[in-house]
Structure 1
Amino acid sequence: MERTLNIIKHDLWLEPFEEAINGRYRYALGKKSELTNGGKQSLSDFATGYLYFGLHKTSKGWVFREWAPNATQIYLIGTFSNWKEDQAYAMTRLENGNWEIELPADVLHHGDLYKLIVHWNGGCGERIPAWATRVVQDAQTGIFNAQVWDPQTPYVFKTKNFKPATDPLLIYECHIGMAQQEEKVGTYNEFREKILPRVAKAGYNCIQVMAVQEHPYYGSFGYHVSNFFAASSRFGTPDELKELIDAAHALGIAVIMDIVHSHSVKNEVEGLANFAGDPNQYFYPGARREHPAWDSLCFDYGKNEVIHFLLSNCKYWLEEYSFDGFRFDGVTSMLYFSHGLGEAFVNYADYYNGHQDDNAICYLTLANDLIHQVKVNAITIAEDVSGMPGIAAKIEDGGYGFDYRMAMNIPDYWIRTIKDKIDEDWKPSGIFWEVTNRRKNEKTISYAESHDQALVGDKTIIFRLIDADMYWHMQKGDANYVVNRGIALHKMIRLITASTMNGGYLNFMGNEFGHPEWIDFPREGNGWSCKYARRQWDLVDNKNLLYHVMADFDADMLKLLKGVKSFQTTPVQEIWHNDEDQVLAFQRKDLIFVFNFNPKKSFTDYGFW
C-alpha cells in the first residue's frame, strides 16, 4: 500500500487529489532513477555537462564539444581562422548528436573571440556555443561572440565553507548595472566597492542578484537570456564577479542568483532558438514553443538532454562562482500549459485539473534535489503567483523542494489598498489576514514591493503615497501632510510585512529609503539614457532630506527582527483588532507590535486584551 505523503497529512483538503500528487512524486523519482542509471551515480554526477561540453583546456591543448543532433557539419571560427570556415577547424560527429574538435595549445589564447558555423540540411548559420562561459559584445558593431577565458592567475576564493545566515533571511534584491549613482552601466567591481558596504550597514544578510546570465538586450532586466552559462560581460569579467561574491561572503552576506529557466530569448545567432536548424532542439514543439506574453521560447522539460542542460547550469553557478542558491523566475509560467495567464486559481481543483506541465514540475523537483546535493545549505526560492500546494515542501513529503516561496499576494494587496481605498477603509483585520495568509509548513519570503513595482508603467509604494510632492517637499522643515503621511505609511507597511514573515523578507535596492521615480532602461524611446536606470544614493546620504528617515527606520527594523532568535519561526499571535478604530496588535515571542492605521485619531491609554 502506498504511504500517505506528509503534504496531504498536513492539509487534508488535498486528500481528493492524492492520486495526482502521488503520480507527480513517482514521476520525479522515476526520472531521477533514469538519469542516474538506477541510482548507480548521483544526480550531481549527472549534472556535469559543463565539464564536458564547451571549450576546455587540456594537457595537450584544447578540446571543444557541442550537442547538435540536427547538424550535418560544424566549423569552429574566430580570430584564429580569420572568421572563415577552414577544414582544419571542422568538428567531428560523435555519438548521440555530439560534436568534438581538439586543437593545439597555440591556436587559442586568452581573450580570443570565437563562435560556430553550423550546417544542416537546407541551411547554415553562425551560432554562439550553447555552453559558452564567456560572451562579449563588440562596442562598435553590437555583435556578440564567445571569448576564450583563460587568465594566467584565475581568481581563487578566499572565504571557505560559507554558510548563509537564515535566522531570518533578509534579502536585498539588486541589479549590478543600475546600482551606481552615475548615469551609466555599473560594474561588478563598483558594486563590490560601493554597494556591498551599504547592504551590510543596512542589515541585510543576502543579496539576490538579477541579470547575471548573459542577455542581448539590457532593457530585458536580464529575463531574456541567451547564454545560460555566461556571466554578463557588460558588468565586467568572470573573475570580478567571483571577487564580488567572495567579498559578500566575507561580510556575512549570502549571494543568490535570479536564475531564468522558465524561458529563453528568441535570438538565433546569440541564443538557442534554432541552434542547428532544429527549432525544437531545446524547446517544445508546436503551439507550446512560444510564450504568448513574453515573446520568448519555452524549454522542453520532457527531454533528458534539456534536463541535463538546465541541471548542469544550476550546478555550474554553484560550483564555479560559489553562489549560495537561486530565486527561480517565472515558476508559474513553467507549471501550467496556460503559463498561468487568465487563471483565477480559486480552489484546489485548479492545481490538479490536468492543465499542469508534469515535465516542468519534475524538472523543478530534480533541480531542488540537485542543488541541495551540491550545497546542503543552498537557498532556493520559487516565484509562483498561483499558490500551487507543495512548492516549498520537502520532496520526500510530496513537495517540489524549494526552501521558500515568494509571498506574491502581499505586494499586490498593498498596491490595491493604496490605489483603491481611502485611508478610512484600511481595515486591520484584512491587513493581518493578508500578511499571514500562507500554507502551513511552507516558508515564504514576505515583501512589500520588489523590482516589479519599480518599473516604468508601475509605481513604487512611496511614489504612490507621495507622488509629485517628492520633488518639492522632501527637505527637512518643508514636509507637508502628504509627505508625512507617505513616510509614516511606508514605515508601517514595511514593519507589518516584515514582522509577520515566516521565513524571510525581501526589499529591492533603494526602496528601503523610498527611492523616487521609476526604472527605465536605456532604449530608443528615451534616447538610450541611463538617467532612470541607476540609484540616487546622494538622496539618502543627504541628512537635510527625509529619505534617510526611511532608511534609518528600515535598518532599525531589521536589527530588531534579527535580535530575536528564531523570530521567523515563532507563531504570530493576534492580540486585538478593531476595524472601526483601525487598530491592530499581535505578538511574537516577547515582542508586541501595535499599529494604528487611523488617519485622524491618536489614542491615549488604549486598552486591548
Structure 2
Amino acid sequence: MITIKQLNEVFRIINGEHPDPHTVLGMHELENDGKKMVAVRAFIPGAKTITVVDAASRRLKYPMERIHEDGFFEVLIPDREEWFRYKLDCTDYQEHSWTTYDPYAFSPTITEYDRYLFGAGTHYNIYEKMGAHMITFEGAKGVSFAVWAPNAKSVSVIGNFNGWDTRRHPMRRLGLSGIWELFIPGLAVMDQYKFHVVQSTGRQVDKSDPYAFYSQLRPETASVIFPIGRYKWKDRRWMTARKKANVYTAPMNIYEVHLGSWMRVPEEGDRFLTYTELAERLVPYVKEMGFSHIELLPVEEHPFDGSWGYQVTGYYSPTSRYGTPAMFKEFIDTCHQNGIGVILDWVPAHFPKDDFGLGRFDGTALYEHQDPRRGEHLQWGTYIFNYGRKEVSNFLIANAIFWLDEYHIDGLRVDAVASMLYLDFCKNDGEWAANEYGGRENLEAVEFIKHMNSIIAKRVPGAMMIAEESTSWEGVTKSPREHGLGFTMKWNMGWMNDFLFYIKKDPIYRKYHHNNLTFGMAYNYSENFVLVLSHDEVVHEKSAMIGKMPGDLWQKYANLRLAYGFMYGHPGKKLLFMGGEFAQFNEWSEARSLDWHLLQYKDHQQMQGYMKALNHFYLSESAFWQMDYDPRGFTWIECDDAESSVVSFIRRSEKKELYFVCNFTPETYMDFRVGVPFRGSYREVFNSDETQYGGSGVVNEKAVVSEKMPWNRYQNSIRIKLPPLAMVVFEKEPDNEEEPKQKK
C-alpha cells in the first residue's frame, strides 16, 4: 500500500513537479512486512491498462493496478526479489495497444565524469552527451535526452511521440550539475521534441534543445531527432592535407555567400535551393570562377530571415531551410572533393530573446548575464553570453569544435569580436559596467577567446579561426603565449573603409585622399589580415560595388576592375561577396536571388570574365600569396605620386616577382616610366584594360626593355603604356644571351 508520503510523491509526478521521477517511477526493490520484493510504478496518462512483462521471458506478466485516475499505475511482485529487465504492455481507451521499455528503468546516460568536465568547462565534446542522441543503451534502442537547467523546478521531454503531454516524460536532475536527463526507448528519426521547463519563477515554457542537431523549419520551433553520425565522408584526402597545410603561405580568395539568396527556383514559388542543389550548382560555379574558398553567412538555425543568420537559436543545427544535416554534409563534402575550402560565419557574441531559445532558459539569466549592462545589446535587442560561466564557455567552445570536426568546416569567421572585447560597445554612459579594474575590456570574453583558440589549435590542426574585429585591439592574431587572442587571421576593416572611401571619389579628387589608398601598408604586418569587400558593404543603401564607382558607365566598370585588381595585388588574403563578381547593380537582399539575368548583357559577362581571369591568375602566381605576412613579400615602387594618382609595387614569392602599376585616373599614358630593380626585359602578364574585359585595349603587346635611367629609387626603369583606370602587371623575363644589352 502507498503511504501518505508516497502519495505526495505520486501527486508530484502527476503534476509534473518532481525533480527526480526515477525515485518514484520504474522498478524498485523494497521490503514489505519483512519480505523482499520488487514494485513497478508507471505514469502513462491515457492508458487504460498496463502489464509488466519480463523481457527475458514473455510468459511472466504482472498486471498493474491503477492508483490514480490520471494514469498512475503500480504493481507489487512478491515472488521477485531482485530488479529485472522488463517491458510495459499498454492499452488505451480506444483499444490501441503498444509495448515499450520503461524509460524509468534505465541508468543515467550522463556519467559523473561527464558532469565534472562540463562543470569545469572542459568537456569539449559535450555535444555527444547533451541534447538528443539515438543510441542503444542497456540493451534497448532509444534516445538519450539531456539539458542544462540548474534552476528549473522540473523539466520534461515533450514531443509528437507523447502528444506534447508535459506530464508524460519528466526528467531527473543529476545532482548539483544542473543537468536533467532521460532515456526514452523506441523513438524514431525525425521525431520532434522540446523541453518543457517549469522555471525557477514557476513560469512554464517550452524550450528548443540548445544542443539539437536539427530543427523544424521556421516559423515552427521544435527540435528534431537526427543521427548526424551516419554520413560517410569521401574527403579523406582533403582532410589529411588540411592538417599539414600552412594557410599563411597558401592562396585564399574567398567567395562570400548567403545560401538563401545566391540563387532560387522561381518556377517553384521562388523557393530556396537545397543543400544538394547547391552542391550541384554553387560548387561548380565557384570552381570555374577560380575561388579557393566559400564563406557561408551563418547556416546555424535562426528564426528570422532578415537577421541573415546572425541571430542564432540552434547553435548545433544547420538550418532546415535548405535540407537536412546529412545534405549539408554532402554539400561540404562536394566542396572538398572539388578542392574548395568552406568557412562558416559563427556568432558567439550574442543571441536573440525568442522565448523558445536560450534566453532566461530556466527562469534565470543562465546563458547570459543577469545585469543588463553586461547581458544585453540594447542596439541589437539581443542577449550577451556570460563567458565567465564555465558551462556557457563549454557550450560555445564545444560548438566551434563541433562544426570544425563533425561537419569538416575548414574555418570559422567569428562575428562581432569587437562587441565581445569591449563592455561599452555601442553603449552610452550608464548603459555598461566597468570590469574589476575599472576598464572597458571584457576580461571574461578575452579569456574565453584565448581558451577557445588554444584548444582548437590543438584539437583541430589546420582549422582557421578568423576574427571580424573592427578596432585596433593589439595582438588579435598573435598566440596567447604572446599575450594575443590566438586567431589565425583578422578581417581588415580599416583597409576596407579607407579603400572604399577612396575609390568612391571622383578621380579628379583622389589625389587629395591618396593616403587612404596607401595607409594600409603602414600597419599591414601588425596582424594576419584578410582584405574584404563583404556583404555589409552592399546593403542598407550603401550601394552595390558597381554603384559605388564614379563616372559614366564605362568608367564604373573600369573603376571596379581596377578596385578588384588593386585588392588582389595588395598583401593579405581576399574576400568578395557574391554578386560583386558580375557587377550586380541592385543592393543585395536576403529575400531574393542574385540578378543572374544580367549575364545576358555584355558588360556583365565581361565583368564576370574579368573576375574569373583575375582569380585564376591569382591562384597560379605564388607571388600573390606565398609571402602575404612576410615583409619581404611586398615593396613599394612608388606610393607618393598623389598628383598622378598612380601607385606601383612589387609582390614576391621565394622564386618570383610581379610588378604592379595601378592608375586611378582616366588619363592614358603612352610613355609612363616605372623604376625596376633589375636590368632586362619585362613582359605584361595581366591588364584590366583588355577589350575582352570591356576595357579600352591599351596594352603592352611586346616586352619592354629596361633603361639605365634612375627612377623611383631604382637605377633602372621601363617605359610602359599605362591605360586609364586600370591595373597592369609585369614580370621580368629570364635573362638570356640574346637579350639586348643596355647601353652604358
SS at match of 1:233: coil
In the alignment, the residues of structure 1 paired with residue 524 and residue 671 of structure 2 have an alpha-carbon distance, to the nearest angstrom, of: 37
* 1:460 is aligned to 2:544: yes
Give the drift of 1:252: 0.8
The amino acid across from 2:604 in the alignment is Y
* Structure 2 counterpart of 1:206: 293
1:333-412 matches, within 5 Å, as: 333-339=419-425, 354-412=439-497
* 1:308 is aligned to 2:394: yes
* Bigger radius of gyration: 2
The amino acid across from 2:509 in the alignment is D
- Aligned positions, number: 526
SS at match of 2:230: coil
Aligned residues of 1:380 and 1:404 also touching (Cα < 8 A): yes
Aligned residues of 1:415 and 1:461 also touching (Cα < 8 A): no
SS at match of 1:287: helix
1:153-552 matches, within 5 Å, as: 154-162=230-238, 163-164=241-242, 166=247, 167-182=250-265, 183-269=270-356, 271-339=357-425, 354-419=439-504, 421-427=505-511, 429-447=514-532, 449-465=533-549, 482-502=552-572, 504-521=573-590, 530=591, 533-540=592-599, 542=600, 544-552=601-609
Aligned residues of 1:168 and 1:568 also touching (Cα < 8 A): no
> What is the CA deviation profile of residues 87-123 of structure 1, one whole-angstrom value per residue up to 9, with x for unaligned ones?
4x1100112111111111x2x1111111111002321
In the alignment, the residues of structure 2 paired with residue 342 and residue 458 of structure 1 have an alpha-carbon distance, to the nearest angstrom, of: 26
**Among candidates 600, 604, 607, match of residue 671 of structure 2:** 604
Aligned residues of 2:347 and 2:416 also touching (Cα < 8 A): yes
The amino acid across from 2:420 in the alignment is M
* Structure 1 counterpart of 2:130: 53
Aligned residues of 2:379 and 2:426 also touching (Cα < 8 A): no
C-alpha change, 1:174 and 1:267, in structure 2 (3 Å) is same
Q: More deviation in 187-196 or 424-433?
A: 424-433
Give the drift of 1:341: 5.7
* 1:556 is aligned to 2:589: no
* 1:100 is aligned to 2:157: no
Give the drift of 1:192: 0.8
Give the drift of 1:342: 7.9
**Among candidates 580, 584, 588, match of residue 643 of structure 2:** 580
TM-score normalised by L of structure 1? 0.82
* Structure 1 counterpart of 2:191: 112
Aligned residues of 1:561 and 1:567 also touching (Cα < 8 A): no
The amino acid across from 1:274 in the alignment is R
C-alpha change, 1:202 and 1:80, in structure 2 (3 Å) is same
In the alignment, the residues of structure 2 paired with residue 300 and residue 260 of structure 1 have an alpha-carbon distance, to the nearest angstrom, of: 14
Aligned residues of 1:325 and 1:371 also touching (Cα < 8 A): no
Highest relative contact order (Cα 8 Å, sep 6+), 1 or 2? 1
In the alignment, the residues of structure 1 paired with residue 615 and residue 194 of structure 2 have an alpha-carbon distance, to the nearest angstrom, of: 48
In the alignment, the residues of structure 1 paired with residue 458 and residue 235 of structure 2 have an alpha-carbon distance, to the nearest angstrom, of: 21
The amino acid across from 1:450 in the alignment is S
In the alignment, the residues of structure 2 paired with residue 44 and residue 194 of structure 1 have an alpha-carbon distance, to the nearest angstrom, of: 41
C-alpha change, 1:362 and 1:115, in structure 2 (3 Å) is same
* Structure 2 counterpart of 1:591: 658
Q: Which has the higher strand share?
A: 2
In the alignment, the residues of structure 2 paired with residue 123 and residue 299 of structure 1 have an alpha-carbon distance, to the nearest angstrom, of: 22
Gaps of 5+ in 1: 1-35, 344-351, 467-480, 522-529
SS at match of 1:321: coil
In the alignment, the residues of structure 2 paired with residue 378 and residue 294 of structure 1 have an alpha-carbon distance, to the nearest angstrom, of: 30
Identity %: 28
Give the drift of 1:353: 7.9
In the alignment, the residues of structure 2 paired with residue 388 and residue 161 of structure 1 have an alpha-carbon distance, to the nearest angstrom, of: 37
> What is the CA deviation profile of residues 531-553 of structure 1, one whole-angstrom value per residue up to 9, with x for unaligned ones?
xx21123423x3x4211222222
SS at match of 1:338: coil
* Structure 2 counterpart of 1:346: none
TM-score normalised by L of structure 2? 0.67
SS at match of 1:55: strand
Aligned residues of 1:75 and 1:118 also touching (Cα < 8 A): yes
In the alignment, the residues of structure 1 paired with residue 610 and residue 220 of structure 2 have an alpha-carbon distance, to the nearest angstrom, of: 46
**Among candidates 167, 176, 197, match of residue 86 of structure 1:** 167
Q: More deviation in 64-73 or 78-87?
A: 78-87
Gaps of 5+ in 2: 1-112, 430-436, 676-710, 712-744
In the alignment, the residues of structure 1 paired with residue 370 and residue 468 of structure 2 have an alpha-carbon distance, to the nearest angstrom, of: 22
In the alignment, the residues of structure 1 paired with residue 514 and residue 627 of structure 2 have an alpha-carbon distance, to the nearest angstrom, of: 22
* 1:64 is aligned to 2:126: no
In the alignment, the residues of structure 1 paired with residue 391 and residue 212 of structure 2 have an alpha-carbon distance, to the nearest angstrom, of: 17
Aligned residues of 1:181 and 1:536 also touching (Cα < 8 A): no
The amino acid across from 1:361 in the alignment is V
C-alpha change, 1:415 and 1:431, in structure 2 (3 Å) is closer
The amino acid across from 1:499 in the alignment is G
Give the drift of 1:181: 4.5
Aligned residues of 1:179 and 1:191 also touching (Cα < 8 A): no
Give the drift of 1:185: 2.5
Give the drift of 1:564: 2.8
C-alpha change, 1:92 and 1:234, in structure 2 (3 Å) is same
* Structure 2 counterpart of 1:131: 211
Aligned residues of 1:328 and 1:382 also touching (Cα < 8 A): yes
C-alpha change, 1:605 and 1:82, in structure 2 (3 Å) is closer
* Structure 2 counterpart of 1:27: none
> What is the CA deviation profile of residues 478-536 of structure 1, one whole-angstrom value per residue up to 9, with x for unaligned ones?
xxx6111011110111111121123x100111211212201233xxxxxxxx4xx2112
Aligned residues of 2:122 and 2:394 also touching (Cα < 8 A): no
* Structure 2 counterpart of 1:76: 157
In the alignment, the residues of structure 1 paired with residue 363 and residue 213 of structure 2 have an alpha-carbon distance, to the nearest angstrom, of: 23
In the alignment, the residues of structure 2 paired with residue 567 and residue 197 of structure 1 have an alpha-carbon distance, to the nearest angstrom, of: 29
* 1:568 is aligned to 2:628: yes
Give the drift of 1:603: 4.2
In the alignment, the residues of structure 1 paired with residue 577 and residue 472 of structure 2 have an alpha-carbon distance, to the nearest angstrom, of: 22
SS at match of 2:329: helix
C-alpha change, 1:316 and 1:499, in structure 2 (3 Å) is same
In the alignment, the residues of structure 2 paired with residue 405 and residue 538 of structure 1 have an alpha-carbon distance, to the nearest angstrom, of: 35
Aligned residues of 1:63 and 1:100 also touching (Cα < 8 A): yes
* Structure 2 counterpart of 1:21: none
C-alpha change, 1:284 and 1:262, in structure 2 (3 Å) is farther
SS at match of 1:459: coil
Aligned residues of 2:502 and 2:514 also touching (Cα < 8 A): no
The amino acid across from 1:539 in the alignment is L
SS at match of 2:404: helix
Give the drift of 1:401: 0.9
Q: More deviation in 317-326 or 256-265?
A: 317-326
In the alignment, the residues of structure 2 paired with residue 491 and residue 85 of structure 1 have an alpha-carbon distance, to the nearest angstrom, of: 61
The amino acid across from 2:492 in the alignment is A
In the alignment, the residues of structure 1 paired with residue 278 and residue 144 of structure 2 have an alpha-carbon distance, to the nearest angstrom, of: 35
> What is the CA deviation profile of residues 141-187 of structure 1, one whole-angstrom value per residue up to 9, with x for unaligned ones?
x3211111148x93211111524574121111111111115443232
C-alpha change, 1:238 and 1:425, in structure 2 (3 Å) is same
